[in-house]
Structure 1
Amino acid sequence: MIILGIDPGIADTGFGVISAEKSTFKAITYGTIKTSKADDLAKRLDYLYKDIEKLIKKHKPSKIGIESIFFAKNAKTAITIAHARGICLLAAQQAKAQIHEYTPLQIKQALTGYGAADKNQIQQMVKTILNLKEIPKPDDAADALACAICCAQTKQYV
């Protein structure tokens, strides 16, 4: 099964594509989609949508895990992230993929069994679970891979 994990943001959206067969997970690709601060919000969202759409068309994930907003330092940040999340959800829905949303707490618990794990602990688990030589960089990509792993490990009840 192919799973796409997304850590949404307006400046940097992390993505991670993994294959999951039974208890074996492999990273296929990961990175970030960057948008220019010089562009207006609509243009940045359009760019993000097109890049997410390309990822989905190329890898054809059967599941897409998207990190949800748990808290933000201020309302403007939360609204901006919500715009990016909406674009990611739209692209996933247009592709008719199964969409699963996870809070940072759920992702931490799925990877470490501990909801208060720090960023380094999560990154080390991503490295170990995916059998990578080093911690994935940048952090947004590692977070997206963590979201994909969470999606693979979580049973979905409908």
Structure 2
Amino acid sequence: MIIVGLDPGLGCTGWGVIAADGNRLSHIGNGHIRTDAKAALPERLVALHGELLGVLALHLPEAAAVEEVFVNDNPQSTLKLGQARGVILLAAASLSVPVGEYAPRLVKKAVVGTGGAEKSQVHAMVGRLLPGVKIAGADAADALAVAITHAHHLASARAMKGRAA
């Protein structure tokens, strides 16, 4: 199964694509989508949407996973993050790609083993789980971590369903 993980941001959205075959994971691609900070908000959202549709069309994922919005000290930043996240959800839904949503602490716990892990620890564990991967930056590492989390949750759900049958 091809899974795209997305770490939303208006200025920079990270993306990471993995293949999951049972518990085996392999890296397909990763990167980031940047928007022009000088452009008006609607233009930035359109640019994010278009670039993301390009990533989805290139990799044809069967599932997507997105990090949930966390509330930070600046309400304006939280609103902009929410708007970028809405565009991401729209892009995936418009291509009929089912989306899983995960809290940042849950992603850290799934990948590192503790919900309070530092970004550097997440980056390091992604490198261990996907040997040989060249990560495009912190946002791409977070996106790959979200994809890995989704892969683990899907595998667990399938195992539970198999036991129930």
TM-score relative to the length of structure 2: 0.90
Q: What is the deviation of 1:49?
A: 0.4
Match of 2:99, SS?
Answer: strand
Match of 2:141, SS?
Answer: helix
| C-alpha RMSD of the superposition | 1.6
Q: Report Cα offsets for 1:20-47 as digits up to 9, x if no partner.
A: 1112111111111011111100001001
Aligned to 2:104: 104
Q: What is the deviation of 1:133?
A: 5.5
Report if aligned partners of 1:110, 1:154 keep a CA contact under 8 Å in 2.
no
Q: What is the deviation of 1:55?
A: 1.2
Partners of 1:133 and 1:63 in 2: CA distance: 21
Q: What is the deviation of 1:86?
A: 0.2
Contiguous gaps of at least 5 residues in structure 1: none
Deviation above 6 Å: which 4+ runs of structure 1? Answer: none
Partners of 1:38 and 1:119 in 2: CA distance: 28
Partners of 1:149 and 1:133 in 2: CA distance: 13
Question: Percent identity of the aligned residues?
Answer: 36
Partners of 1:75 and 1:101 in 2: CA distance: 21
Q: What is the deviation of 1:52?
A: 0.9
Contiguous gaps of at least 5 residues in structure 2: none
Q: Report Cα offsets for 1:64-90 as digits up to 9, x if no partner.
A: 000011221210000000010000000
Partners of 2:120 and 2:58 in 1: CA distance: 30
Match of 1:154, SS?
Answer: helix
Report if aligned partners of 2:7, 2:140 keep a CA contact under 8 Å in 1.
yes
> Quick one: which amino acid aligns to residue 149 of structure 1?
I
Report if aligned partners of 2:66, 2:102 keep a CA contact under 8 Å in 1.
yes
Number of residue-to-residue matches in the alignment: 157
Higher deviation after alignment, 40-49 or 16-25: 16-25
Partners of 1:145 and 1:73 in 2: CA distance: 26
> Quick one: which amino acid aligns to residue 21 of structure 1?
D
Q: What is the deviation of 1:120?
A: 1.3
Aligned to 2:120: 120
Partners of 1:137 and 1:57 in 2: CA distance: 20
TM-score relative to the length of structure 1: 0.94
Aligned to 1:151: 150
Pair member with larger Rg: 2
Q: Does 1:49 pair with 2:49?
A: yes
